Amino acid sequence: MAKQLLTLAPVDWLIIAIYFVVVLGIGFYLKQFARTGDDFFMAGRKITAWVAGLSFISANLSALETMGWSAQTYQYGLLAAHSYWYNAVPAIVFLAMVMMPFYYICRTHSVPGYLKLRFDGRSSTVAGASFTFMTIMVSGASMFAMAKILHLLLGWNMNASILAASLTVAVYVSLGGLISAVFNEVLQFFLIWLGTLLVPILGIIDAGGWTRMTETIRHNVHAIHPALQQHDFTCLWSNLGSFDNPMGVDWIGLVFGFGVAGFSYWCTDFLQVQRVIVAKDLRSAQNGTLIGAMVKMCVPFIVILPGLLGMAVLTNSDHTTMVLVPENDVRANITLHTYNDVLPLLMGRYLGPGLLGLGVTAMIAGFMSGMAGNVSAFATVWVYDVYQPLFNKTAGDRHYLNMGRLCSLVGVGISIGTAYALFYFSNVLEFFVALGMFFLVPLLAVVILGMMWRGCSAAGAFWGFIAGIAASLTMFLFVHSFPAGHRPVPQVALEKGAVVNLEEKTVHAEEDGQSLEINRRKRISRVIVEKGKVRLTNVPFTCGGGTGPFVSGDMTVKRTPVELPASFLDDETKRFESRHPEAGAGASRGEPMVNVKVLAPEVLLAGSKEAGQFGVEGVPVTLQPGVEVSSQDVTKYFDPASFNRDHDHWIARSWKAQPMGVYMYCSLWSFLLSAFVTVGLSCGAPRRAEAELKDLVLGLTKVPDQGPCPWYQRPAFWATVIGVALAVLNIVFW
Partner 1 sequence: MDKREQLPVWFFVGAVLLVYGAIIALVGVYNLFPRHVNPDLAMQWLHADLWWGVVLTSLGGFYAARYCPWRKH
Binding site for partner 1 (CB under 8 A): 11, 14-15, 18-19, 22, 26, 29-30, 32-33, 35-36, 39, 44, 51, 182-183, 186-187, 190-191, 194, 198, 201-202, 205-206, 313, 348-355, 358
How near is the Cβ of 358 to partner 1 at its closest, in Å?
A: 6
- If the CB atoms of residues 32 and 608 are measured against partner 1, the closer one turns out to be 32
Strands 611-617 vs 491-494: parallel, antiparallel or unpaired = unpaired
- If the CB atoms of residues 182 and 599 are measured against partner 1, the closer one turns out to be 182
Q: Which of 90, 88, 117, 94 is nearest to 105 (CA)?
A: 117
Q: For residue 586, what is the DSSP state?
A: T
- If the CB atoms of residues 187 and 311 are measured against partner 1, the closer one turns out to be 187
How near is the Cβ of 396 to partner 1 at its closest, in Å?
A: 17
- If the CB atoms of residues 313 and 379 are measured against partner 1, the closer one turns out to be 313
How near is the Cβ of 223 to partner 1 at its closest, in Å?
A: 20
The torsion angle over the Cα atoms of residues 156, 160, 164 and 166, rounded to 10 degrees, is: 110
- If the CB atoms of residues 203 and 513 are measured against partner 1, the closer one turns out to be 203
Give the C-alpha separation, 518 to 613, whole Å. 8
Give the C-alpha separation, 734 to 726, whole Å. 12
Q: What is the 3 state secondary structure string of 593-610?
A: EEECEEEEEEEEECCCCC
- If the CB atoms of residues 87 and 188 are measured against partner 1, the closer one turns out to be 188
Residues contacting 705, CB < 8 A, separation 6+: none
Q: Which of 344, 367, 341, 334 is nearest to 59 (CA)?
A: 367
Burial of 316 (0-12, 13-18, 19+ CB in 10 A): exposed
Angle at 86 between CA 81 and CA 87, to 5 degrees: 90
How near is the Cβ of 179 to partner 1 at its closest, in Å?
A: 8
The torsion angle over the Cα atoms of residues 207, 211, 212 and 215, rounded to 10 degrees, is: 120
How near is the Cβ of 8 to partner 1 at its closest, in Å?
A: 13
Amino acid letter, 171 = V
- If the CB atoms of residues 306 and 442 are measured against partner 1, the closer one turns out to be 306
Residues 500/528, Cβ–Cβ less than 8 Å: yes
- If the CB atoms of residues 51 and 428 are measured against partner 1, the closer one turns out to be 51
DSSP 67-109: HHHHHHHHHHGGGGGHHHHTTTHHHHHHIIIIIHHHHHHTT-S
Give the C-alpha separation, 643 to 480, whole Å. 5
- If the CB atoms of residues 19 and 144 are measured against partner 1, the closer one turns out to be 19
- If the CB atoms of residues 191 and 594 are measured against partner 1, the closer one turns out to be 191
- If the CB atoms of residues 7 and 720 are measured against partner 1, the closer one turns out to be 7
- If the CB atoms of residues 180 and 667 are measured against partner 1, the closer one turns out to be 180
Beta strand extents in 129-171 (DSSP E only): none
How near is the Cβ of 616 to partner 1 at its closest, in Å?
A: 28
How near is the Cβ of 352 to partner 1 at its closest, in Å?
A: 5
C-alpha R_g of the chain = 27
How near is the Cβ of 599 to partner 1 at its closest, in Å?
A: 29
Q: What are phi and psi of 87, to 5 degrees?
A: -75, -45
How near is the Cβ of 419 to partner 1 at its closest, in Å?
A: 27
Q: Which of 408, 349, 356 is nearest to 380 (CA)?
A: 408
Residue 183 has a CB neighbour count (10 Å cut-off) of: 20
How near is the Cβ of 75 to partner 1 at its closest, in Å?
A: 24
Q: For residue 387, what is the DSSP state?
A: I
How near is the Cβ of 271 to partner 1 at its closest, in Å?
A: 19
Q: What is the 3 state secondary structure string of 520-538?
A: CCEEEEEEEEEECEEEEEC
CA distances (Å), origin 502, targets 3, 519, 605, 612: 22, 12, 8, 11
- If the CB atoms of residues 119 and 350 are measured against partner 1, the closer one turns out to be 350
How near is the Cβ of 295 to partner 1 at its closest, in Å?
A: 15
CA distances (Å), origin 207, targets 214, 217, 303, 314, 343: 9, 10, 16, 10, 15
Residues 303/69, Cβ–Cβ less than 8 Å: yes
Q: Where are the alpha helices (DSSP H) in 299-396?
A: 300-313, 342-350, 355-381, 388-390
How near is the Cβ of 546 to partner 1 at its closest, in Å?
A: 48
- If the CB atoms of residues 194 and 489 are measured against partner 1, the closer one turns out to be 194
How near is the Cβ of 182 to partner 1 at its closest, in Å?
A: 8
Q: Which of 477, 491, 451 is nearest to 631 (CA)?
A: 491
How near is the Cβ of 11 to partner 1 at its closest, in Å?
A: 6
- If the CB atoms of residues 32 and 211 are measured against partner 1, the closer one turns out to be 32
How near is the Cβ of 153 to partner 1 at its closest, in Å?
A: 16
Amino acid letter, 6 = L
- If the CB atoms of residues 190 and 650 are measured against partner 1, the closer one turns out to be 190
Residues contacting 351, CB < 8 A, separation 6+: 198, 199, 358, 359
Q: What are phi and psi of 603, to 5 degrees?
A: -125, 170
CA distances (Å), origin 423, targets 188, 416, 665: 27, 11, 30
- If the CB atoms of residues 206 and 628 are measured against partner 1, the closer one turns out to be 206
How near is the Cβ of 376 to partner 1 at its closest, in Å?
A: 16
